[in-house]
Amino acid sequence: MLIPIHAEITRLALEKTFTPLVLEKVIRANQKQDAIGKQIGHSEIHFDNNQIKEGQAYLQIQRDIVFLSIKRMDLDSAWKAFGRLLHTAQDFYAHTNYVSLWLEKFDDSAWPSAHEIDPLDESILTSSQLRSGKIYYPLELLSFIPFIKRLVIPVLPRDSHAWMNLDSPASGRKFEFAFSGAVKRTVVELEMITEKLPVEVFMKFING
């Protein structure tokens, strides 16, 4: 998803829980995942190139860092790891075909509201049909340039990131489902931390 959209999703899901200062630290860590150094050669961070298992493993690594950092009362490291975790969790809905597989359960003319999407449908998470867009370098890079995008995308394969991504409203109607799924998943990730921490420790995590 685009950097501003990651911020919007994170704020929408967490602004009633975290203090503004802590929330901004989480968001900055989230957005830094889209730096060029975290893009090339790091498909697992964004669930690109069909790295579904690798992406899930990356999520667990960041969860472990969150808990270990909190245990050590290194809250700054915990917030950064949580931001990195959220970026990958949010990209899952924009970079894989999860939304499309979920919508296949319904008639094309009777899609439910985007707010009804189940972000953790086990039948989809374990499906052999779950996949993500491939990055076709170097041509794919040109698809990120607005005035060249229209010329490049038609010549890229249909399984490319350029064709499959739901990174912004320009991606079409399915974007709102990816957005809603990402918001719900962000809340789920927070709840996973909540249920494993004593109340007083969790309060320090969200308040600083």
CA torsion through residues 186, 114, 165, 149, sign = negative
User: What's the whole-model pTM score?
Assistant: 0.94
Number of domains in the chain: 1
Kindly report, residue by residue over 33-62, the tens digit of the pLDDT: 999 888 888 999 999 999 999 999 999 999
Residues 132-186: tens digit of each pLDDT: 999 998 888 777 777 788 888 888 999 999 999 999 999 999 999 999 999 999 9
Q: Domain of 124?
A: 3-207
